[in-house]
């Protein structure tokens, strides 16, 4: 319920929302949790395993109980903490892990079986039969236990990713963080102040105390306004820093304010990568509970959270409150509640020496040992030295002390150090380079100490950054000593919870210890302690203290589990923002793309490129019909194909010729200007890297072409050779793949077509086979090459890319007028298989020049990369699988790439393997299926028969071994 | 005689605007790749100065002015942007025409750095990446370049074939940034959420 006159919510701005189908009202500035408490909704969730009623327990992102779901369908977001969900008009929230409803959850029957459902229950129970593990047990268990679910629909792309850079990153905008940020900002440093909450202030928003003689909130507003006015400060609220990584890099999840996120095109959140030269970790501390019987009942809350709900949101969770603790946080809670006129029924202080000057029933040296109430707290039982007492209460505020939030100091593997006075783990120093902790995160638990520590670390960062330290003083503030007495668990019957989110109790940890899971890491995995989405933020320390007790060791010897990112749950949709659909990978489109698509060509991906598969014409119903027609077109008339995707590298310099001699197996220094030569390139290990043509454009000017697939690899290789192997040579190179649009014009009428287009016609004498040179196309300076990948009289013509689209349209129109047209990748592939040319289907990385019958291209007169390795005996062994052609001669007339070859009479097992098929197609020119294959002693077996067996696709046929070149072996057509 | 019509990389898709942000295409600029031969860097710089009025740029920098610039473009290489290169430069360097190889987009308007922060991991803060700075970098998972021509005036370059992807990515980021910035309640937001 609301308390008049308290809190920072805007009572002029009521907000309507819905939870589990019922309408409620809260105020602007509320969280879903504070609004539910204001409406006396105490039970908001069911627990993970036992389906026990659960209520709001904390006021921050560490909340273990109040998990809810928002949104419908693809927009559904499960497991959101009600304590961090900003209330906004029209918010619809639902509870999770209950069936059929939160009030009547039939799976609560699990709670009755709790005695047998302890840690390790599954491992011990669901052992037989083995076949049931995945098919029966797991689905049943998953249905009975769990958190919220995903919708099953693909997530809406409502996130974005971004980078930020700063001199100083301050993580946490409480008293320490504000002081650190201000000190650095005054010194002129570029500061990012990241605050997980919707507003700055940290605990100062939750407490009732003065700073610098004014209320804490007023002091925060003053500092925040100063910072906001400084151009070198970036205040980023709603920003949870989730991980610390190398080189001062931090991951952070930003949630946008609901009203901003609702705008058209606005993201819902942003995953940031922040690079900072220095970092101050001022993430504060989390209050820890105490393990006692029934400590999970709705109404049992952290004392600090009770103060936060009262002071920040003007809400109290019940008419009557009992406060229980082992430190002064309990007393402070009583004082705040009483000041607000809320009835406090008892103050139970486990410290036997404690004194109390408040007007409240006071029980020093006592413990809360039990609770009662069906769907919410109704009474607590107190164990005093004099005996047990039962007191009616709707709220029990508990404080077991504070745990500094030093997770981000431990993300690089360092372990925190135990402080026996403060009973807390403190952040290890210098465990993340450039990062230091300040304030409560460093174990400073008074406001004055936090302000001092924040200023000191801010100034230290200023010094480290090489800036002049500004004059700043520490404001006056409360400076009470932190007095705490060990209290982890209250002995007694009944289940006492440690990990509320995963339903792990003291009994489970004891059992783990008894069954010899004594290491904290083993205990964690056996009991699932700390493995829920909250990652044990408020339970890990308690659990290891209980484990320490159970194993007779101290807390420091027991140690902590490993801290790993993320600090708060991060939707995968945020980390992968944008990486779907068009954002999945860049698209490389040729200049002919639009025209090809307009002609109905299906596009296939070649790396990042998109290339036309075939160009369907009216009346063609299958790709084969189009492909066969396109092949015939090239063989009988003329075809046009965009080959711009092939890599083109411009190479110049006095040493260009010998550079090429060094990277190619064959010689290019002897190539005449204005001529093109086919070249083969090996890797250092003697295997084929790539092939292509290389043209000599001038005395010291070459133009290399690579395959589409290996363009990047070859460029990298050439750079490596130039920079590392032969830095003494003067050679310069640059990719011109994108500068030129290049088209193959292939077929008997290729020259006729071109002569109708070129500014000056060509003939055999002036432009012979394998010639290259400058041409004009309608006044545009282009390049022409007489080269062929189809086996026909063919040219490749290149123009600056801006003219690519126009030239392609022109070429295709003219080809069509001559009985030809555009052809795609399918026809291109058939044409080259007929002619016995290779692609990366053949030079797949494991073959040598010898394997593809090109050992003759390995020059004996010079050295080249890969020569030594390629000359090894094993790489020149006739027994190797070597390239041949194939045609089926059995009953089944098909060849399948990937199928293996065997001797006709041999059993088709791997020991008898003779080779494999790399490419196959139907040849419309030859009228039957043809293929290329690697076959043991292949070239020696031409005319023999082998058996193709495809175990995967269940196909088998007899084939005849042929030469690689199955069409026009003499090359008469090629030369026109 | 055939007449070939020129098309720019972003033909028909630009400009686009979002809020005060504007993305447009820089077209018809002559771009020549220059790479000095061994020991020729100083001579090339002098020749450039004499012919085009700008010297060889240091790494990550541009020289010259509007209409005739030299933009550092990697190890021992630069782009001469604007003029037809003086033939004399070829005595000192390899020259290659790259006018058609790159899509060159201009991003302008307040908030442009916020757009770039969604595309590129570089530190582009005012005091770090100033007017006249250029970097070869990752732009939305593409190898590209970013240059700062003025306070709110940037160039983004990727290979011509990826122009469509670049426009899509920049436009998406522009809309996101504009949606965050152009708030009818900006003042109220700040007052409420950043006390």
Q: Determine the Cα–Cα distance for residues A256 and A250; give it in Å rounded to an integer.
A: 19
Which residue(s) pair with A280 in the sheet? A170, A436
User: Which chain B residues touch A578 with a CB distance below 8 Å?
Assistant: 169, 172
Which residue has 């070459």 as its token pair?
A: A702
CB contacts, 8 Å: A217 with chain B:
195
Between A162, A653, A757, which is nearest B117 by CB? A162
Domain boundary among A124, A153, A182: A153
> Is it the case that residue A696 has pLDDT exceeding 90?
yes
Q: Are residues A205 and A297 in the same domain?
A: no
Instruction: Tell me, yes or no, whether A627 and A504 share the same domain.
Output: no
State the Cα–Cα distance between residues A812 and A793, nearest whole angstrom: 17
Which residue from A minimizes the CA distance to B138? Answer: A586
8 A C-beta contact, residue A524 and residue A530: yes
Confidence at residue B110, expressed as pLDDT on a 0 to 100 scale: 93
Chain B contact present for A606, CB below 8 A: no
Distance between CA B6 and CA B18 in Å, rounded? Answer: 28
- Cα A867–Cα A871–Cα A877 angle in degrees, nearest 5: 145
Q: Mean of the pLDDT values across residues B115-143?
A: 97
Tally helices (H) and strands (E) across chain A. 24, 50
- Let me know whether A725 and A813 are in one domain: no
Nearest to A840 by CA among A585, A647, A586, A635: A647
* Contact list, B169 vs chain A (CB under 8 Å): 578, 583
Give yes or no: residues A817 and A709 share one domain.
Answer: no
Token pair listed for A467? 């800036």
Find all residues with CB under 8 Å of A237, minimum gap 6, and list them.
A173, A195, A197, A198, A199, A200, B193, B194
Instruction: Tell whether the model's pLDDT for residue A470 goes beyond 60.
Output: yes
| A281 and A408 belong to one structural domain | yes
Q: Given an 8 Å threshold on Cβ–Cβ distance, is A803 in contact with B140?
A: no
> If pLDDT is split at 50, 70 and 90, which confidence band does A749 have?
very high
Ranking A122-126, A379-383, A847-851, A934-938 by mean pLDDT, the lowest is: A122-126
Nearest residue on chain B to A644, alpha-carbon basis: B161
With 50 as the cut, is the pLDDT of residue A26 above it? yes
Least confident of A109-113, A191-195, A770-774: A109-113
Model confidence at A101: pLDDT above 80: yes
| A216 and A275 assigned to the same domain | yes
Q: Would an 8 Å CB–CB cutoff place B41 in contact with chain A?
A: no
**Is A43 in the same domain as A132?**
yes
Contact B117 A805 (CB under 8 A): no
Mutate to test the interface with A, among B139, B143, B190, B195 (most CBs of A within 10 A): B195
Residue among B155, B111, B161, B118 at smallest CA distance from B136? B155
- Average pLDDT of every residue of chain A: 95
Choose from B27, B40, B160 for mutation: most chain A CBs within 10 A: B160
Query: Do A19 and A51 fall within a single domain?
Result: yes
Instruction: State mean pLDDT over A446-454.
Output: 98
Nearest to A265 among B125, B128, B175 (CB): B175
pLDDT value at position B183? 54
Pick the last residue of a domain from A705, A735, A765. A735
A residues 578..597 contacting B (CB < 8 A):
578, 582-583, 585-591
Q: Extract the tokens encoding B15.
A: 């400009």
pLDDT at A62 over 80: yes
Q: Is residue A871 part of a domain?
A: no
pLDDT in tens, B5-60: 999 999 999 999 999 999 999 988 899 999 999 999 999 999 999 999 999 999 99
Determine how many CB atoms are found less than 10 A away from the CB of residue A623. Answer: 15
How many Å apart are CA A455 and CA A473, to the nearest integer?
8
Residues A170 and A59 grouped into a single domain: no
Q: How many CB atoms lie within 10 A of CB A972?
A: 10
d(CA A594, CA A606): 17
Q: Has residue A954 been placed in a domain?
A: yes
Q: What is the pLDDT of residue B190?
A: 36
Identify whether residues A636 and A744 lie together within a single domain.
yes
CATH assignment of the domain containing A753:
3.30.1360.120
pLDDT of residue B189: 37
Under 8 Å between Cβ of A719 and A731: no
Residue-averaged pLDDT of chain B: 93
Residue ending a domain, among A153, A181, A205, is: A153
User: Does A221 contact B141 at a Cβ distance shorter than 8 Å?
Assistant: no
Q: How far is B2 from chain A (nearest CA, A)?
A: 5
Q: Which of B164, B176, B193 sits opposite A198 (nearest CB)?
A: B193
- Whole-number Cα distances in Å, A414 to A405, A442, A543, A562, A799: 14, 15, 20, 8, 60
State the smallest CA–CA distance between residue A321 and chain B in angstroms: 32
The mean pLDDT of A815-835, rounded to a whole number, is: 98
CB-closest option in A235, A259, A805 to B7: A805
Whether chain A has a CB inside 8 Å of the CB on B99: the answer is yes
Positive/negative CA dihedral, A509, A513, A517, A521: positive
A802·B8 Cβ contact <8 A: yes
Q: Is residue A872 part of a domain?
A: no
pLDDT for A391 beyond 90 = yes
Q: What is the mean pLDDT of residues A92-105?
A: 88
Which CATH number does the domain housing residue A911 bear?
A: 2.40.30.110
**Does A471 score more than 90 pLDDT?**
yes
Give the dihedral of Cα atoms A929, A934, A936, A939; nearest 10 deg.
70
Q: Could you tell me if residue A847 is inside a domain?
A: no
Residue A654 exposed, middle or buried by CB count within 10 Å (0-12, 13-18, 19+)? middle
Residue pair A864/A665 in contact (Cβ under 8 Å)? The answer is yes
Among A744, A685, A661, smallest CA distance to A870 is for A685
Query: Are the CB atoms for A385 and A376 separated by under 8 Å?
Result: no
Give the number of other Cβ atoms within 10 Å of residue B145's Cβ.
20
**For the segment A244-287, what is each residue's pLDDT rounded down to a tens digit?**
999 999 999 999 999 999 999 999 999 999 999 999 999 999 99
CB contact under 8 A, A739 and B98: yes
Nearest to A554 by CA among A504, A488, A604: A488
The answer to whether residue A161 neighbours chain B at the CB level (below 8 Å) is yes
Rounded (5°) CA angle A742-A743-A744: 135
Identify whether A470 is part of a domain. no
pLDDT of residue A111: 85
State the total domains in chain A: 7
> Structure tokens of A395?
């709220």
| Residue A654 in contact with partner chain B when CB distance is under 8 A | yes
- B184 pLDDT above the threshold of 60: no
Q: What band does B116 get if pLDDT is binned at 50, 70 and 90?
A: very high
Q: Which residues contact B68 (CB under 8 A, 6 or more apart)?
A: B52, B53, B54, B80, B81, B82, B83
Q: How far is CA A863 from the centre of its chain?
A: 46
Domains within chain B, CATH numbers bracketed: 13-28+101-182 (3.30.1360.120), 30-98 (3.30.70)
List the single best residue of A734, A807, A814 to mutate versus B (max B Cβ within 10 A): A734
Q: How far is CA A873 from CA A576, A848, A869, A896, B12, in A?
A: 50, 12, 9, 32, 59
Length of chain B: 195
- Listing DSSP states for A458-507 in one string gives HHHHHHHTT-PPPP--PPPB------B---SB--SSS-BEEETTTTEEHH
- Domain with residue A109: its CATH number is 3.10.20.440
Whether A618 has a pLDDT exceeding 70, the answer reads: yes
**Does A378 share its domain with A426?**
no
| Nearest Cα residue to A975 out of A836, A768, A765 | A768
Sorted by sequence, the CB contacts under 8 Å of residue B65 that are 6+ apart come out as B53, B54
Per the CB < 8 A criterion, the answer to whether A606 and A612 are in contact is no
What is the C-alpha to C-alpha distance for residues A196 and A200, in angstroms, rounded to an integer? 9
User: A701 and A770, same structural domain?
Assistant: no
Question: How sure is the predictor about A131, in pLDDT bands with cuts at 50, 70 and 90?
Answer: confident
- Token pair 């005091």: residue: B127
Q: Is residue A846 part of a domain?
A: no
CA A198 to chain centre: 26
Domain of residue A768: give its range. 592-645+739-832
Cα A44 to Cα A2, A308, A309, A732, distances in angstroms: 18, 19, 16, 69
The pLDDT value given to residue A125: 76
Distance CA B97, CA A367 (A): 84
In a domain, A192, yes or no: yes
Q: Is A162 on the interface with B (CB under 8 A)?
A: yes
Instruction: Report pLDDT for B194.
Output: 33
What is the mean predicted confidence (pLDDT) over A359-371? 97
Summarised one tens digit per residue, pLDDT across range A935-955 is 999 999 999 999 999 999 999
Q: Which chain B residue has the Cα nearest residue A268? A: B176
Domain assignment present for residue A266? The answer is yes
């Amino acid at each position: 319920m609301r308390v008049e006159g308290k809190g920072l919510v805007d009572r002029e701005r009521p907000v309507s929302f819905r939870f589990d189908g019922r309408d409620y009202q809260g105020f602007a500035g509320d969280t879903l949790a504070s609004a539910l408490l204001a409406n006396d909704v105490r039970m908001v969730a069911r627990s993970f395993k036992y389906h026990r009623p659960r209520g709001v327990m904390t006021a921050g992102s560490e909340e273990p109980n109040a998990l809810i779901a928002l949104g419908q369908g693809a927009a559904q977001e499960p497991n959101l903490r009600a304590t961090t969900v900003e209330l906004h008009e029209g918010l619809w929230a639902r509870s999770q892990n209950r069936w059929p409803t939160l009030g009547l959850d039939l799976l609560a029957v699990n709670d009755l079986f709790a005695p047998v459902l302890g840690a390790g229950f599954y491992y011990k129970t669901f052992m037989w039969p083995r076949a049931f593990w995945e098919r029966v047990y797991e689905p049943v268990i998953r249905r009975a236990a769990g958190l919220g679910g995903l919708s099953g629909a693909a997530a809406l792309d409502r996130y974005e990713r971004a980078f930020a850079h700063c001199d100083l990153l301050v993580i946490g905008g409480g008293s320490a963080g504000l002081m650190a940020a201000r000190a650095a900002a005054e010194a002129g440093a570029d500061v990012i102040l990241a605050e997980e909450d919707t507003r700055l202030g940290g605990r100062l928003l939750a407490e009732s105390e003065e700073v610098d003689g004014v209320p804490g909130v007023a002091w925060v507003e003053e500092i925040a306004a100063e910072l906001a006015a400084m151009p070198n400060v970036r205040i980023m609220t709603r920003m949870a820093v989730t991980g610390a990584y190398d080189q001062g890099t931090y991951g952070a999840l930003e949630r946008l304010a609901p009203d901003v996120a609702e705008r058209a095109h606005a993201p819902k959140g942003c995953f940031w990568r922040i690079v900072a030269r220095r970092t101050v970790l001022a993430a504060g501390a989390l209050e820890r509970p105490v393990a006692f019987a029934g400590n999970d009942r709705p109404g049992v809350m952290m004392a600090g959270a009770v103060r936060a709900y009262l002071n920040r949101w003007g809400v109290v969770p019940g008419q009557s409150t009992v406060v229980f603790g082992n430190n002064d946080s309990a007393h402070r809670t009583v004082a705040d509640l009483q000041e607000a006129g809320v009835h406090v029924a008892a103050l139970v202080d486990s410290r036997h020496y404690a004194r109390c000057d408040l007007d409240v029933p006071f029980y020093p040296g006592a413990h809360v040992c039990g609770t009662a109430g069906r769907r919410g707290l109704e009474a607590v039982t107190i164990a005093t030295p004099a005996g047990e007492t039962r007191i009616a209460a709707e709220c029990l505020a508990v404080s077991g002390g504070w745990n500094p939030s030093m997770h981000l100091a431990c993300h690089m593997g360092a372990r925190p150090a135990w402080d026996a006075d403060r009973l807390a783990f403190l952040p290890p120093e210098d465990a993340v380079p450039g990062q230091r902790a300040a304030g409560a995160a460093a174990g400073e638990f008074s406001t004055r100490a936090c302000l001092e520590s924040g200023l000191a670390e801010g100034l230290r960062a200023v010094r480290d950054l090489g800036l002049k330290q500004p004059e700043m003083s520490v404001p006056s503030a409360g400076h009470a000593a932190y007095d705490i007495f060990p209290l982890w668990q209250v002995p007694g019957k009944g289940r006492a919870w440690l990990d509320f989110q995963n339903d792990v109790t003291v009994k489970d940890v004891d059992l783990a210890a008894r069954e010899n899971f004594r290491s904290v890491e083993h205990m964690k995995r056996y009991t699932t302690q700390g493995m829920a989405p909250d990652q044990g933020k408020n339970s890990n320390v308690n659990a290891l203290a209980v484990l320490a007790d159970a194993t007779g060791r101290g807390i420091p010897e027991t140690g902590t589990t490993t801290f790993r990112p993320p600090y708060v749950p991060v939707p995968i949709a945020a980390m992968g923002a944008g990486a779907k659909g068009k954002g999945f990978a860049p698209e490389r489109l040729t200049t002919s793309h639009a025209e090809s698509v307009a002609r109905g060509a299906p596009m296939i991906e070649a790396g990042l490129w998109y290339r036309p598969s075939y160009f369907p014409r009216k009346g063609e119903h299958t790709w084969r019909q189009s492909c066969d027609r396109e092949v015939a077109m090239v063989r009988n008339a003329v075809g046009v194909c965009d080959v711009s995707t092939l890599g083109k590298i411009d190479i110049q310099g006095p040493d260009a010729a010998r550079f090429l001699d060094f990277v190619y197996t064959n010689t290019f220094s002897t190539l005449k200007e204005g001529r093109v030569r086919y070249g083969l390139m090996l890797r250092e290990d003697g295997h084929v890297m790539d092939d292509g043509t290389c043209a000599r454009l001038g005395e010291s000017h070459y133009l290399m072409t690579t395959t589409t697939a290996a363009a990047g690899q070859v460029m990298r290789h050439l750079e490596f050779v130039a920079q590392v192997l032969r830095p003494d040579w003067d050679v310069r190179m640059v990719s011109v793949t994108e500068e030129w649009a290049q088209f193959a014009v292939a077929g008997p009428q290729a020259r006729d077509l071109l002569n109708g287009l070129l500014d000056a016609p060509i003939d055999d004498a002036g432009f012979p086979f394998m010639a290259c040179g400058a041409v004009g196309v309608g006044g545009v300076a282009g390049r022409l090459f007489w080269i062929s990948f189809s086996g026909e009289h063919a040219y490749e013509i290149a123009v600056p890319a801006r003219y690519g689209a126009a030239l392609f349209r022109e070429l295709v129109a003219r080809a069509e007028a001559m009985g030809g047209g555009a052809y795609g990748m399918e026809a291109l592939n058939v044409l080259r298989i007929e002619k016995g040319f290779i692609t990366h289907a053949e030079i797949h990385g494991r073959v040598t020049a010898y394997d593809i019958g090109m050992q003759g291209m390995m020059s004996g007169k010079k050295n080249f990369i890969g020569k030594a390795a390629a000359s090894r005996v094993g790489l020149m062994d006739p027994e190797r699988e070597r390239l041949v052609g194939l045609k089926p001669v059995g009953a089944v007339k098909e060849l399948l790439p990937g199928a293996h070859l065997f001797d006709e009479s041999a059993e088709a097992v791997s020991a008898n393997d003779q080779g494999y098929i790399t490419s196959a197609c139907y040849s419309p020119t030859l009228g039957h299926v043809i293929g290329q294959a690697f076959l043991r002693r292949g070239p020696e077996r031409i005319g023999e028969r082998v058996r193709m067996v495809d175990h995967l696709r269940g196909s088998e046929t007899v084939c005849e071994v042929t030469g690689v070149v199955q069409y026009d072996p003499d090359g008469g057509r090629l030369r026109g | 005689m055939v007449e070939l019509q020129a098309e720019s990389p972003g033909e028909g898709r630009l400009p686009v605007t979002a809020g005060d942000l504007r993305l447009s295409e820089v077209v018809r600029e002559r771009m020549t790749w220059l790479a000095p031969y061994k020991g020729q860097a100083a001579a090339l710089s002098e020749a450039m100065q004499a012919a085009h009025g700008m010297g060889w740029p240091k790494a990550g920098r541009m020289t010259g002015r509007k209409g005739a610039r030299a933009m550092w473009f990697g190890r021992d290489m630069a782009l001469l942007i604007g003029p037809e290169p003086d033939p004399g430069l070829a005595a000192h360097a390899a020259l290659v025409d790259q006018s058609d190889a790159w899509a060159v987009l201009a991003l302008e308007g307040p908030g442009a750095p916020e757009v770039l922060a969604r595309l590129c991991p570089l530190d582009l803060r005012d005091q770090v990446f100033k007017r006249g700075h250029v970097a070869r970098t990752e732009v939305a998972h593409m190898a590209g370049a970013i240059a700062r021509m003025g306070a709110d005036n940037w160039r983004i370059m990727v290979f011509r074939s990826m122009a469509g992807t670049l426009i899509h990515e920049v436009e998406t980021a522009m809309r996101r940034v504009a949606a965050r910035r152009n708030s009818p309640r900006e003042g109220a937001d700040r007052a409420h959420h950043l006390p």
